[in-house]
């Protein structure tokens, strides 16, 4: 079986590795001139590490990133709302959660593939008749996997044009050589209409993000370091240190968007995974994790049904659709609550979060990580 994967992000790279491990012929078409990840940091939670373990990559990821064993939810001023211990569920499933630089992850995954598995500067476009072309030629492959993100061309060939939905807030993200937290601890602070997250990613570096509600398609002047510092001034001096230690050119600004649930994830020989199928807001940190799950599960379904592509696609979507939609909804709700700007509602929210029993938090983590891992 010949598999063509459109998109060289983490989902596409893991899909290639999983398919090759099952004896399939794989090629990745990546439109950029080099495999690189757009973004800053990423957390591969226990569910994603469990999938990567089937490819023998869990150890390399742990070594390249930082294991996260505790999360802290705080008010903007640093007052603790909830301490979340990830260790019980990590011990249950035998894998930690790892925060890592996106570029480091991409390099690690690409290095596990043969050099000729990735064709660079290969831009794929959907045609009006529902086909895909690259360099003027029809994209070949018994299976064509759309791992090309929220603006997927493969999705256009499957279901036509689907517009992303703006979540109502914008995010700024960066990587800093400042380490304000103890090893293994991540923090998210909630203010009124704003949030700020701090995540160590190894090698003395910290991934940070800040969010603010507002209209879409905003813009900052090129020299807005002071403006960004003012925007998040209430979050404390450690936040200011992180922003100051990040070069302006390395600070990313993106409107937060997701996709409405799709009716179909596949048509003919085309099938979608990751953001192309179910882009979600980043509030649960599950976007890339779900792409990794999709990639391994799709390869396993193709292996189970080597002579029946449609049966493989239906098995894959039966396994993945409900979980992806659930996480889309939960992530959207969590982000909306975190962005509340009304002072009364924000006070109630913070008080309620402090009262959530730790046992309930652990049950929710259990549900999040309890994905069925294909055996191979």
**Dihedral (CA of 26, 31, 36, 42) sign:** negative
Determine contact, residues 26/16, Cβ cutoff 8 Å: yes
Distance (Å, rounded) from C-alpha 272 to C-alpha 313? 10
Give the model's pLDDT for residue 376: 61
| Phi-psi map region of 94: left, alpha, beta (phi>0 left; psi -120 to 50 alpha) | left
What is the model's pLDDT at position 78? 95
On whether the CB atoms of residues 213 and 342 are closer than 8 A, the answer is: no
Domain range summary for the chain, segments of one domain joined by +: 2-66+102-165+258-338
As a whole number of angstroms, the distance between CA 272 and CA 291 comes to 10
pLDDT tens digits, one per residue of 28-41? 999 998 887 666 89
Q: Percentage of residues in the chain with pLDDT exceeding 70?
A: 98
Q: Could you tell me how far CA 146 lies from the centroid of its own chain?
A: 16
> Architecture of domain 2-66+102-165+258-338 in CATH?
3-Layer(bba) Sandwich (3.50)
Q: Rounded to whole angstroms, what are the CA distances from 17 to 55, 113, 352?
A: 7, 7, 43
Per-residue pLDDT, 38: 63
What phi and psi values does residue 280 have, to the nearest 5 degrees?
-130, 160
**Tens digit of pLDDT per residue, the chain (376 long)?**
899 999 999 999 999 999 999 999 999 999 998 887 666 899 999 999 999 999 999 999 999 999 999 999 999 999 999 999 999 999 999 999 999 999 999 999 999 999 899 999 999 999 988 899 999 999 999 999 999 999 999 999 999 999 999 999 999 999 999 999 999 999 999 999 999 999 999 999 999 999 999 998 877 666 578 889 999 999 999 999 999 999 888 899 999 999 999 999 999 999 999 999 999 999 999 999 999 999 999 999 999 999 999 999 999 999 999 999 999 999 999 999 999 999 999 999 999 999 999 889 998 888 889 899 997 6
**Cβ 140 vs Cβ 4: under 8 Å:** yes
Q: Tell me, what's the pLDDT at 339?
A: 97
pLDDT value at position 227?
Answer: 87
- CA proximity to 318, closest of 259, 265, 376: 265
Annotate 145-177 with b (16+ C-beta within 10 A) or e (fewer).
Answer: bbbbbbebbbbbbbbeebeeeebbbbbbbbbbe
């Amino acid at each position: 079986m010949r598999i063509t994967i459109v998109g060289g992000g983490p989902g596409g790279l893991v899909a290639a590795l999983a398919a090759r491990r099952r004896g399939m012929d794989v090629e990745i078409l990546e439109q950029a001139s080099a495999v690189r990840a757009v973004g800053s940091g990423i957390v591969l939670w226990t569910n994603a590490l469990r999938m990567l373990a089937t490819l023998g990559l869990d150890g390399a990821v742990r070594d390249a990133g930082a294991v996260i064993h505790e999360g802290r939810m705080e008010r903007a001023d640093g007052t603790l709302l909830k301490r979340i211990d990830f260790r019980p569920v990590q011990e249950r499933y035998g894998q930690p959660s790892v925060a890592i630089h996106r570029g480091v992850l991409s390099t690690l995954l690409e290095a596990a593939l043969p050099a000729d598995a990735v064709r660079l500067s290969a831009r794929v476009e959907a045609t009006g008749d529902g086909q895909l072309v690259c360099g003027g030629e029809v994209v070949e492959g018994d299976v064509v996997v759309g791992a090309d993100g929220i603006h997927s061309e493969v999705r256009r060939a499957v279901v036509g044009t689907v517009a992303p939905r703006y979540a109502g807030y914008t995010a700024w993200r960066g990587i800093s050589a400042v380490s304000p937290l103890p090893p293994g601890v991540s923090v998210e602070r909630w203010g009124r209409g704003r949030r700020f997250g701090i995540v160590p990613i190894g090698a003395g570096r910290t991934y940070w993000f800040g969010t603010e509600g507002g209209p879409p398609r905003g813009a900052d002047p090129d020299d807005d370091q002071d403006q960004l510092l003012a925007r998040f001034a209430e979050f404390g001096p450690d936040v200011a240190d992180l922003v100051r230690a990040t070069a302006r050119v390395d600070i990313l600004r993106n409107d937060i968007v997701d996709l409405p649930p799709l009716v179909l994830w596949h048509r003919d020989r085309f099938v979608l995974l990751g953001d192309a199928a179910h882009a979600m807001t980043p509030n649960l940190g599950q976007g890339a994790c779900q792409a990794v799950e999709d990639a391994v599960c799709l390869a396993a379904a193709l292996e189970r049904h080597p002579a029946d592509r449609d049966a493989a696609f239906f098995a894959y979507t039966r396994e993945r659709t409900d979980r992806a939609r659930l996480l889309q909804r939960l992530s959207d709700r969590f982000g909306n609550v975190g962005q509340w700007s009304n002072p009364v509602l924000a006070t109630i929210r913070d008080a309620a979060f402090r009262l959530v029993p730790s046992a309930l938090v652990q049950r929710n983590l259990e549900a999040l990580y309890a994905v069925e891992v294909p055996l191979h």
